[in-house]
Amino acid sequence: MFTLPSIFKCVGRRSVVASGQAAPPAPQQQPASGAAAVVTAAVATAPVDRVPHVEPLRTTPARATILRKLRSRPSAKKSLLALGLLILLIVAAPFFAPQNPYDLLALDIMDGRLPPGSANFDETITYWLGTDAQGRDMLSAILYGLRISLFVGLCAVLISVAIGVTLGLLAAYRGGWIDTVVMRAVDFILGFPTILVALVLLAVVGRGIDKVIIALVVVQWAHYARIMRGRALQERRKEYIEAAQNLGFPAWRIMLVHLMPNCIGPVMVFATIQIATAITLEATLSFLGVGVPVTEPSLGLLIASGFEYLLSGDYWISIFPGVALLLLILCINIAGDRLRDSLDPRR
Amino acid sequence: MALFIVRRLLQSLLVLLAVSVVVFCAVYAIGDPIELLVSPDVAQAERDALIARLGLDLPLWQQYGVFLWRALHGDLGNSFVHGMPAVQLILQRFPATLELVAVAITLTCVLGISLGLIAGLYRDRWLGRGIMAGSTLGFSVPNFWQGMVFILFFAVWLGWLPASGRGPTVEVMGVPLSIFSADGWRHIALPAVNLAIANIALVLRMTATGVAEAQSQDYVRFARAKGVKPGRIVRRHILRNILIPVVTVIGMEFGTLIAYSTITETVFSWPGMGKLLIDSVYKLDRPVIVAYVMLVTLLFVIINLVVDMLYAVLDPRVQLVEARA
């Protein structure tokens, strides 16, 4: 997960001092951030510690507004709370799940397809959400499945953001043929529906958690590259970039330390919502049988395994994992939505 | 306009060429093409004959030329499973998919725009808020799971509608279609709604935002000050202006729906080309996968082209050539 303050840092860019705070802490003699660089360049003879010290977050007006907006929406609080709870459940799953769903020896085929609330033969486990065809406790399977779904979603988004941000920055800062090549590739990828590209890709390379992540990265990096390039093109004409260039900083440093922190806000907001998209996509691919392997069932695969029993009325195998998936996606979507609203200066 | 069309056509051809190179690399260059294109239970002599016939003993660039030449003539190989040309197989399944997508698009237009209008006009009341909350739910629910919930409710528990298949079809100009019989409608109802819901949510939100924004615009305020009746303001002033982006999105969503129909068709066993793709993936019927990719690319290129041109026709302010430059 990202941390909220890291997003807010980048959004306070409208006030010069705020954007000074945007950069990671830098050594005193070499102010790394753009705004601070402008200040030092202007008063080159003055000691550096004249740059006024500003408390982060609360004292900057823009950030205070954002935090207030975010706090004033009860649904934002609730969804973040629910999301936190879900993540806690997912992380702590091995400690309180009634059963290890991967331990095939613990499963008893006699317990297969028991309805919710029934107990096993010697009444050591109560299957609150029923069991699947292999006699696996659905509650445990869902908790472990959530882990895989969230892991795949987070990995895919993190890698896509890294690739997209790097390429977007390069395209915007360097321009020329790099820009042309990157943006043509972006257009090419975004010209097709994600589900189809990922499906065909996985149909060729086979199933596996790593392959699913690769497929998700292939279809998603282009969004970030496009957003990053758009922001960076606006930002790179500003004075602090010019100042940094005149100070003779190498290009990689200007891009990473000066340009990137001031552009990454919109990317991060989009990325939060994309986590939900990635999780849905993974579930869909697993449902279609090209996603994660059967040995490590994600929620999508659990739902798929219950599909054949749905028509005979054994609803719990498919429905409960779906509810868990829906809760996870809804929490991320609502939280991301509110985050976007509160970061939007027009509201 | 003519210049724009020519440029877009050239771009489209480039996209097709790029996809053909990617597909060629995936099938011919990386893996062993014999393994991919020839069924494993073929005798060695026949295998050699096929290698010669498919031109696999030629250098790579010549092979690509052969692949492209054959693709241009509509020959993308034979299906292992069905023993007939893959292109023909897919085209046979096309009407079923098209029918499903068409019904879903109609639902999207009718429900999406009308609900969006209500949500936009009454956005501060519970009705508008309720519709917007519903739309969040609408595109959060994973498509395939939602289909299964439909089956559980309407087919298993209530028994109102059939869970799978296409039902009886009526031949219209040689094309079998379901929508001309009552039983056909019973079969198409669930898959079409399932396919449409995410799109309805999208169009609904776009319309609602557009309406909300338009209401504070000068032309609406002026019309109101002039004493134009509220109904007329909505119909003639607001709706007309917001329809342009909405129609464009619906046009672009046509392609997305074809892609997502793979999922809906799998859930509801609808015999369209998406189901064919999934079945081919399971059975490793690679010529069908290759043919599907090429045909769908062609379809997408055409859709994008048409949408771009529609945009210009609908909104005279759009100047396509300049916008691209």
Q: Where are the domains of chain A?
A: 87-343
Where does A87-343 sit in CATH, by number? Answer: 1.10.3720.10
pLDDT at A278: 92
* CB of B295 less than 8 A from some CB of A: no
Q: Which residues of B touch A311 (CB under 8 A)?
A: 151, 155-156, 163
Pairwise CB contact (< 8 Å): A203 & B289:
yes
User: Is the ipTM of this structure higher than 0.90?
Assistant: no
Share of chain B above pLDDT 70, in %: 88
Which of the residue ranges A124-133, B253-262, B263-272 would you say has the lowest mean pLDDT? Answer: A124-133
Interval B109-122: pLDDT, tens: 899 989 998 888 88
pLDDT at A21: 40
* CB of A248 less than 8 A from some CB of B: no
* Cα-based angle A328, A333, A338 (whole degrees, multiple of 5): 130
What is the mean pLDDT of the segment spanning B16-21?
84
pLDDT at B21: 83
Give CA separation, A200 vs A76, B322, B325, in Å.
37, 36, 33
* Band (B33; pLDDT cuts 50, 70, 90): low
* Nearest-angstrom CA–CA distance, A138 and A111: 12
pLDDT at A14: 38
Q: How far is A304 from chain B (nearest CA, A)?
A: 9
What angle separates helix A239-246 from helix A34-42, to the nearest 10 degrees? 70
Share of chain A above pLDDT 90, in %: 12
pLDDT at A120: 66
Interval A292-322: pLDDT, tens: 887 778 888 888 888 888 777 778 888 888 8
**pLDDT for residue B5 is more than 60:** yes
Pairwise CB contact (< 8 Å): B142 & A307:
no
Give CA separation, B145 vs A249, A289, B81, in Å.
53, 14, 29
The DSSP annotation for B157-201 comes to IS--S-SSS----EEETTEEESTTSHHHHHHHHHHHHHHHHHHHH
Q: Which residue has the higher pLDDT, B46 or A252?
A: A252
Most confident stretch, A28-37, A114-123, B37-46, B94-103: B94-103
Q: Which residue has the higher pLDDT, A78 or A150?
A: A150
* CB of B17 less than 8 A from some CB of A: no
* Band (A225; pLDDT cuts 50, 70, 90): very high
* CB of B299 less than 8 A from some CB of A: no
Pairwise CB contact (< 8 Å): A334 & B256:
no
Mean pLDDT of chain A: 76
Interval A82-122: pLDDT, tens: 888 888 888 877 777 777 777 666 666 666 667 776 676 66
Interval B169-212: pLDDT, tens: 777 766 777 777 777 788 888 899 999 998 899 889 888 888 88
Per DSSP, helices labelled H in chain B are: 2-24, 33-37, 44-54, 60-72, 86-107, 113-121, 126-140, 143-150, 182-215, 218-226, 230-232, 240-267, 273-282, 286-314, 320-324
Pairwise CB contact (< 8 Å): B281 & A199:
yes
Interval B121-165: pLDDT, tens: 888 888 888 888 888 888 888 888 888 888 888 888 887 888 777
Instruction: Please tell me the pTM assigned to this model.
Output: 0.77
* Band (A165; pLDDT cuts 50, 70, 90): very high
Q: Considering CB atoms only, which of A188, A311, A333 is closest to B163?
A: A311
* CB of B137 less than 8 A from some CB of A: yes
**pLDDT for residue A155 is more than 90:** yes
